[in-house]
A and B are shown apart, each in its own frame.
Chain A
Amino acid sequence: MLRPLLKGKITGVKNLKARYRYSVILLRQLVKTDFKLRYQGSVLGYAWSLLRPLLLFAILYVVFVRFLKIGGDIPHFPVYLLLGIVIWNFFAEMTMQSLGSIVGRGDLIRKLNIPRWVIVLSSSISALINLILNLLVVIIFLLINNVDLLKTSLFLPLILAQVYVFALGVSLFLAAAYVKYRDVNYIWEVILQAGFYLTPILYPIAIISNQTLQKIIFLNPVAQSIQDARYAAITHQTVTISQVFGGSVLKFAPYFLSIMVLIAGYAYFKRQSKSFAENI
């Protein structure tokens, strides 16, 4: 009776390896396909990936800097604004795209036993590629605006990684929930809209005078990381979470929350994924 047991273990490892290889092949191909299809049929094609943030920036600049004259006391406010928008857009785009990804790939899920999480991961990577292209535009403006290169910029990848972790957790949860409850996308749209105004993207956080409200806003990992990113890459004259909470351990809450959301999101996704094929 020992032999079959041992054999089972070996084939188990072999299966795991094969499964991993399959996942990687699939992931690459799905991301490629996504990217190919994104600007399908448009004249400018991939150029839109860079044009979109550029045009967005032009609008922001005219509206907020020229007309509304907000953020005058923050150095390099236009770039400051752009970085916030780029990070928020990444979060919104990634969660929104992932939300529909499982249902959108229902044809595959009903006919093949593909690793489900690969589908969510592939739409998250598509969003990530877009983020990198957008950041290129941000860097161009950093140079144009003669922003002093800060040593803290080195932390930027780490800060963005945190946003990605948080967004991935949310994405996994939403994608799985959407299979069962088709109301999720409407609810999430509203939450994103509310989140956009509750996050210091268009306005400097300093204009909120209520200390408690400021603290609450900072508990949102996206708000915290946008401020962290601005502090790290653009100017130290901005408010970050450690300034608001001072010595309190609460200043670690959003970081902790990001990781917890990923774990919880993955656990929920994993449990639900067993019945995706029959529920889609």
Chain B
Amino acid sequence: MNKEQMAESGEVAVRVSNVSKVFNLPTEKNNSIKSAFISFPRKKRRIVKQQALKDISFEVKKGEFFGIVGRNGSGKSTLLKIIASIYQPTSGKLEVSGRLVPFIELGVGFNPELTGRENVYLNGALLGFSPKEIDAMYKDIVEFAELERFMDQKLKNYSSGMQVRLAFSMAIRAKADILLVDEVLAVGDADFQRKCFEYFKTLKKDKKTVVFVSHEMSAIREFCDRAILIEDSKIFAQGSADKVSQLYLRQFMNSTDQESGPTSKRWGDRAVLVESIEAKVEADSIIINEVLRVRANTANPIAGIRIRNSAGQEITGTNTQVEQQDLGDVKQGQRIKLQWRTPNIFSDGKYFVDPAVVYADGVTVCDWWDEAASFVIKKARRLPYNIDPGFQLEISA
């Protein structure tokens, strides 16, 4: 019996049948007090209907790690909230068997005016724990969060890192048959992310039913058994996590122009600007072709690039100064072609190229363009790390 057949025969934990969701969004047209008063007696609240989900059906089996994948605004968070019974579907049905705990945010209900200890009991109640149950696990919670000395201080005096630690320490104790986890959980520093992923691993080992929402394909492939891809409010694909994440990358990551267009950020006085930039992936190297245009005479500007992964982590970067190839004094109207080449040591995923040109002082920005170009790496093998430079392994007896 292979894995998929096993899932087929298993019991259903969550069944979503033909669920649609329409939001009625009121639009306020009265911008001024005057018009609000004039139109008050016959004020029509204009309602705009927004279809967030269309006819969604799927099942999550008991013990399955199930992924929901989709771009921002595709409706995946709405779907998560419907599964959590926070939103009611406009039509369709939701069946859940077992106790379900949603983690849409860490530390829900935390009150800055209460002490750490009081917040533990409050947050615990929201997770369904009686004060007695919290008493029993209080020591573990505090120890795990490494906050022994701070529990009688008000939460407002905690650093954000301490708050997250406390919240996370609470969250992992939730007794649930089904966990809903939003990707926002995995924000924070690298250390915290590691803790999160370790938690996911224990969930997987313990055969918990987990519904996991993310657009981080590496996480989806690492943890999920099956996944659905939501696009434009509908199920675009469903199947094994590998299949769905590959489809996602192919479908949405290649349209780099689209994505780098409106969402990218760019600033600077543009005395020297990046006219064009593109990134190519070859078998064993990445080639970035860049054209600079000079709009005003500038003494010895520095051009550089930075490469970040889809989570925004900086992987690498360099500039003309580091490479000891100065551009020299550039004249108005001049065009300069640059080609950056680096070995393809990146692991699977999408990467963004941020080109920049700064003045000789190294600080003042001529042109800084975040996510001007991007490239996607698909390798035969996958490492859950930022780079995959290739290893030579020798085993001897």
Partner of A278, one of B23, B113, B118, B130: B23
Tell whether, in the assembled complex, residue A111 and residue B121 are in contact, meaning their CB atoms are under 8 Å apart. no
Question: Which 4 A-B residue pairs are closest in the complex by CB-CB distance?
Answer: A29-B125, A113-B85, A274-B88, A111-B104
Check B122 for interface membership: any CB of A closer than 8 A: yes
A52 at the interface (CB under 8 A from B): no
Which chain B residues border A275 with CB–CB below 8 Å?
A: 88
Q: Which of A25, A36, A108, A113 contacts B114 (CB 8 A)?
A: A36
Q: How far apart sit A37 and B121, CA to CA, in the bound complex (Å)?
A: 15
Residue ID in chain B nearest A274 by CB atoms: B88
In this complex, what residue of A is CB-closest to B85? A113
A193 at the interface (CB under 8 A from B): no
Contact status A18-B99, CB under 8 Å: yes
Known: A277-B81, A278-B87. A37 touches B113 (CB 8 A): yes
A28→B122 CA distance, assembly (Å):
10
Of all chain B residues, the one with the shortest Cβ separation from A33 is B122
B99→A33 contact, CB < 8 A? no
How many angstroms between the C-alpha atoms of A108 and B111 in the bound complex? 12
Query: Does B86 contact A29, Cβ atoms closer than 8 Å?
Result: no
- Per-residue CB contact flags for chain A residues 29-64 toward chain B (1 = under 8 Å, else 0) read 110110011001000000000000000000000000
Shortest CB distance B37–A (Å): 13
Q: B84 — which chain A residues lie within 8 A by C-beta? A: 112-113
Q: How large is the interface on B (under 10, 10 to 19, 20 to 34, 35 or more residues)?
A: 20 to 34
Do A111 and B113 contact each other (CB < 8 Å), given the known contacts A26-B125, A274-B88?
Answer: no
Assembled-state Cα–Cα distance A30/B99 (Å): 22
Q: Is B343 an interface residue (CB 8 A)?
A: no
Q: A36-B118, A110-B104 are in contact. List 4 more A-B contacts (CB 8 A).
A: A33-B111, A37-B114, A110-B86, A111-B108
Question: Which residues from chain A contact B121 at a C-beta distance below 8 Å?
Answer: 29, 32
Q: A79 → chain B, closest Cβ, in Å?
A: 37
Asked whether, in the complex, the Cβ of B122 is within 8 Å of the Cβ of A29, the reply is yes
Contact, CB under 8 Å: A113 / B86: yes
A-B contact pairs, 22 of them (CB 8 A): A11-B97, A21-B128, A25-B128, A29-B121, A29-B125, A33-B111, A33-B122, A37-B111, A37-B113, A40-B113, A107-B109, A108-B108, A109-B86, A112-B84, A112-B108, A112-B109, A113-B85, A113-B102, A274-B88, A277-B81, A277-B87, A278-B23
For the complex, would chain A's binding face be called helix, strand, loop or mixed by DSSP majority? helix
Inside 8 A of A30's CB, which chain B residues have their CB?
A: 125
Q: Which of A40, A108, A110, A112 has the most CB of B within 10 A?
A: A112
- For B192, the chain A residues whose CB sits under 8 A away are none
**A114 interface residue (CB < 8 Å to B):** yes
Q: Judging by beta carbons under 8 Å apart, are A111 and B102 in contact? A: yes
Determine whether the beta carbon of A277 is less than 8 Å from that of B86. Answer: yes
Mark contacts of B69-103 with chain A using CB atoms, 8 A cut-off: 1 yes-contact digit, 0 otherwise: 00000000000010011111000000001010010
The answer to the question of A252 belonging to the interface, with a C-beta cut-off of 8 Å to chain B, is: no
**B105 interface residue (CB < 8 Å to A):** yes
In the bound complex, residues from chain B placing their C-beta under 8 Å from that of A256 are: none
Q: CB-CB < 8 A to B122: which residues of A? A: 29, 33
User: Which of B109, B129, B131 has most A Cβ within 10 Å?
Assistant: B109
The answer, among B23, B104, B105, B114, for a CB contact under 8 Å with A33, is: B114
Q: Which residue of B lies closest to A180 (CB)?
A: B26
**Cβ-based interface call for A155 (8 A):** no
Distance in angstroms between the alpha carbons of A95 and B130 in the assembled complex: 29
Complex CA gap A31/B10 in Å reads 42
CB B323 to nearest CB in A, in angstroms, measures 49
Give the residue name and chain of the B residue nearest to A7 (CB). Answer: B97
Tell me which residues from 148 to 168 in chain A have a Cβ below 8 Å from any Cβ of chain B: none
Q: Give chain B residues whose Cβ lies under 8 Å from the Cβ of A111.
A: 86, 102, 104-105, 108
Most chain B CB inside 10 Å of its own CB: which residue of A18, A21, A111, A113: A111
- Chain B residues with CB under 8 Å of A108's CB are 108-109, 126
Determine whether the beta carbon of B118 is less than 8 Å from that of A33. Answer: yes
Distance, CA A22 to CA B87, complexed state (A):
19
Residues from chain A with Cβ under 8 Å of B114 in the complex: 33, 36-37
CA distance A236 to B23 in the complex (A): 58
Residues of A within 8 A of B85 (CB): 113
CB distance from B133 to the nearest CB of A (A): 9
